[in-house]
Amino acid sequence: MSMRVGIEVGGTFTDLVAVDGNRIEVIKVPSTPANPEIGAFNSLSGAGVNPIAIDDLVHGSTIATNAILERKGAKVGFVTTAGFRDILFLQRHDRHNIYDVKYAKPALPLRRRDCFEVEERVDAAGRIVVPLDEAAVSGLLVPRLAQGGYGAVAICLLSAYSAPGHEARVKALIEAALPNVRVACSHEVVREFREFERAATTVLSAYVQPVIDRYLSRFEETLASADFDGDFSVMQSNGGRLPAAAMRRNSITALFSGPAAGVVGAVRQAERSGRLNLITFDMGGTSTDVSLVINGTPSVAPETQIDGLPVRTPVLDIVSVGAGGGSLVWIDDGGMLRVGPRSAGASPGPACYRRGGLAPTVTDAHVVRGTIRGDAFLGGTMQLDVDAAHRSFEAIAKQLNLSVKDAAAAAIRLAVANIVRAVQVVSTERGRDPRDYVLLPFGGAGPLIAAEVAEELGVQEILVPPNPGLISAFGLLAADYVRITSVTRRCPLDKDAASILRQEFARFRAEAEREFIALGLHGALSFDITAEMRFVGQAFEIPVEVDADRLAALKEADLAAEFSTAHRRIYFHGGEPGRKVEIVGVRFGVRRRLEKLPEFRERPSQLRGPAAVEVWTPSGPVKTKLIAAADLASHEVVKGAAMIEGYSSTLWVPPNWRAERDQSGNILMGRDHR
């Protein structure tokens, strides 16, 4: 049997899951933010995994995210059509906070002096209006780029989404003269209209490209020195992975690989229990990431943001809130208790971590409440300072005239409220009732508050996977190879619309098949299509899924009916009768599915605690059964109050709740009405 390994580098911990036949190894080690690859290889050595034995290695990290947030990317130059030099700085007229008198537009990772123009013009239909001045590119632009010492260049010419020829030529001229400079073209990064979003995404892609290149190169060199000869792939924000070589062409797709991997792992594990409609929430060290899954498929959004800047690339529709285990608990100027969005991070971390942290966090609140035992963290491999957790809440408790335990309990209730609001964003505000879904918590802190979140939402069932704190690393192994491409293709919804979709799909399919063969990804491919549609005059589009297997027989009436259904689900009406509809763009996806999903089981534990502990609740102390997760047998029913304690996380089963492990290793929770 081949060995498959997933390594996910997070802000606080680096997680590893290794599957070798019937053997499974899992481990969490501290991340090393200055050199993330060190933490990754520490996880290999900690799990006793020799790289030479690995056949399939999948990696996810926050490298691209951190490079943007910390402004540690390459010095990047921007090239655009004459007359559009300021498009990045004009941005949009909207304000993220209309009542903030000090509001400033999101800052870009370049200055105006880093923006250059070239003479050319293409219209929206792809017709050349002004030919490209190649002499000026070679004689003026290239010397200025060389003099500026740029490590990367982003090219975004007007209407290049419809005719990329000029962009491709400018790229060729720059690369021929400056071979050490990485060049990103908008038609390769995001082939869609809306100039600011397209330009910003291309700039960010160029900005992180050299950082990703250096990181992957160091990673691959270290693997090679250990005689690794397997497949090496990287997770994308869209929930699929691609070989590392493909990621070098468009690194922006790896921006949120960690949260995406968690959703994929959660979905694949829930499938084993027959649960396909899910609300997942990943409560880690810094934030909680919430996503909606319909019929086993996570929702995909065409755009996201980072540090206020738009990133126009398909991503899993994940809403993040600052309510992680490391989120700081504090009192604002009005005397109100707050949780997050600031975090203690990996350093110094929560007060109980013994790393110099003094401020209270959500993790400290759980230690005070009793739902995290100080001598059982990470299977007993990391001792927590219980007294330090209590001390961290003393000042807040005194200011609020509460006991330390009540102050900690209040902080946990606030964290629950923040997560409930995030769930409402991905469900209620998308026209979905959360009561129709199964809540699936994971991450180190998710199972600790899952029941409280479910009670607030009216959700009746909770599914907790094995090793919930390691689901993101498992998701790397469970991910298919995926590529998603979006193109702007405007056309009215008439008798020719279905034919246009078929033509675009045929072109994409041919390109995808050639690319996957070139990457060594042989095997059957599946395809999906989403048409971005709107009423003529609307500002933004609605995604309408199109069955690729029925595309040959698709008609105008079918598209109109699907659009009306999607519009009604979101806005509760189908629009004015007779109002014209148009297709604005199309999103195509290609997938090479995993042949066999690795089995995921609870990590055995030698740690044994007392038969019962005390947990502080709003009604006072509650005697709570303590059960080792690895000892919970299939179909064994546990009635609350109970704590099911595993290596990577602890599941809190409050009074009036019950939990049962099913045949797939998942724990199903529901209200105990007996």
Q: How many CB atoms lie within 10 A of CB 253?
A: 28
**Distance spanning both ends of the chain, measured CA to CA:** 46
The Cα–Cα gap between 596 and 648 comes to 25
- Strand runs (DSSP E) across 222-272, as ranges? 231-235, 241-243
Most confidently modeled range among 244-253, 313-322, 447-456: 447-456
Displacement of CA 637 from its chain's centroid (Å) = 34
Mean pLDDT of 331-337: 92
The pLDDT value given to residue 348: 85
pLDDT confidence of residue 242? 92
Contact 242, 252 (CB under 8 A): no
- How does pLDDT run across 467-497, given as a tens digit for each residue? 999 999 999 999 999 999 999 999 999 989 9
- As a whole number, mean pLDDT of residues 661-668 equals 94
CA distance 645 to 608: 10
3-state secondary structure of 302: coil
Q: What is the mean pLDDT of the chain?
A: 91
State yes or no: pLDDT of 37 exceeds 90: no
**CATH number for the 69-212 domain, one of 3.30.70, 3.40.50, 1.10.510, 1.10.10?**
3.40.50
What is the pLDDT confidence band of residue 674, given thresholds at 50, 70 and 90?
Answer: low
Three-state secondary-structure class, residue 619: coil
Helix, strand, coil share (%) of the chain residues, nearest 5: 35, 30, 35
> From CA 314, how far away is CA 485, in angstroms rounded?
8
Question: Six-digit token pair at 376?
Answer: 């059982």
| Whether the model pTM is above 0.85 | yes
Q: How confident is the model at residue 52 (pLDDT cuts 50, 70, 90)?
A: very high
Residue range 635-643: average pLDDT?
A: 92
Query: Please, what CATH class does the domain formed by 1-61 belong to?
Result: alpha beta
Of residues 178 and 251, more confidently modeled: 178
Q: What is the pLDDT of residue 285?
A: 80
- pLDDT for 516-567, tens place per residue? 999 889 889 999 999 999 999 888 899 999 999 899 999 999 999 999 999 9
pLDDT band at residue 77, thresholds of 50, 70 and 90? Answer: very high
Q: Can you give the residue ranges of every domain in the chain?
A: 1-61, 69-212, 481-592, 612-671
Which range among 161-170, 233-242, 537-546, 592-601 shows the weakest confidence by mean pLDDT? 592-601
Could you tell me how far CA 670 lies from the centroid of its own chain? 28
pLDDT tens-digit readout, 118-170: 999 999 999 999 999 999 999 999 999 999 999 999 999 999 999 999 999 99
- Confidence at 245, pLDDT banded by 50, 70, 90: confident
Whether a cis peptide bond, with omega within 30° of 0, leads into 468 is no
Tell me the backbone φ, ψ of residue 450, rounded to 5 degrees.
Answer: -60, -45
Looking up tokens 């800047």 gives 309
Instruction: Copy the structure tokens of residue 65.
Output: 């995210």
Quote the distance between the C-alpha of residue 286 and its chain's center. Answer: 13
Residue with token string 């899993």: 316
Q: With cut-offs at 50, 70 and 90, classify the pLDDT of residue 320.
A: confident
Three-state SS letters, 149-183? CCCEEEEECCCCCCCCHHHHHHHHHHHHHCCCCEE
> Is pLDDT larger for residue 286 or for residue 172?
172
Question: Quick one: pLDDT at residue 113?
Answer: 96
pLDDT of residue 257: 87
Tokens of 227: 């005689």
Q: Which two tokens stand for residue 462?
A: 């909770």
Provide the H-helix boundaries in 59-103. 63-69, 87-90
Q: How many residues would you count in the chain?
A: 674
